[in-house]
Structure 1
Amino acid sequence: MSIIANAKVKSLTEQWAGEIHSGHHQLITDKPESFGGQDKGPAPYDFICAGLVSCTMITLRMYAKHKGLELGEFTVEADFNANKEGEEWMDRRVSFVSPLSDALNQKVLDICSKTPVTKTLLRSVAINTTIV
Structure 2
Amino acid sequence: MNTLFEAGPESVYMSDGKYGPYQVLVRSASSTLIVDEPFGAGGLGSGPTPFDLLSAALGSCSLMTMRSYADDRDWPLEGLAVRVSHDRPTLASSDRFLKEIQIVGPLSLVQIHALVDVSMRCPTHVTVARGSEIETRLVRPGDMTDMAVGRSAHMRVMKESLRTGPP
Global fold match (TM > 0.5): yes
Mark the runs of 5 or more structure 2 residues left unpaired by the alignment.
1-6, 140-167
Identity, % of aligned pairs? 24
- Displacement over 6 Å in runs of 4+: none
Q: Choose between structure 1 and 2 for higher RCO, CA contacts under 8 A separated by at least 6 residues.
A: 2
TM-score (norm 1): 0.90
Mark the runs of 5 or more structure 1 residues left unpaired by the alignment.
none
Within 2, Cα distance between the matches of 1:100 and 1:36?
46
After superposition, the C-alpha distances for 1:86-106 in whole angstroms (9 at most, x for unaligned) are 232101111134364322221
Which amino acid is 2:128 matched to? L
User: What is the CA-CA distance between 1:62 and the residue it aligns to?
Assistant: 1.0
Superposition pairs of residues 42-61 of structure 1, within 5 angstroms: 42-61=48-67
Superposition pairs of residues 1-132 of structure 1, within 5 angstroms: 2-3=8-9, 5-12=10-17, 13-84=19-90, 86-98=93-105, 100-132=107-139
Structure 1 residues 24 and 109: alpha-carbon distance in aligned structure 2, compared to 1, 3 A threshold: closer
TM-score (norm 2): 0.72
How many residue pairs get matched? 131
Find the residue that maps to 1:39 and give its secondary structure.
coil
After superposition, the C-alpha distances for 1:75-126 in whole angstroms (9 at most, x for unaligned) are 1111111113623210111113436432222112211111111001011111
Q: Which has the higher strand share?
A: 1
User: What is the CA-CA distance between 1:74 and the residue it aligns to?
Assistant: 1.6
Moved more, 67-76 or 36-45: 67-76
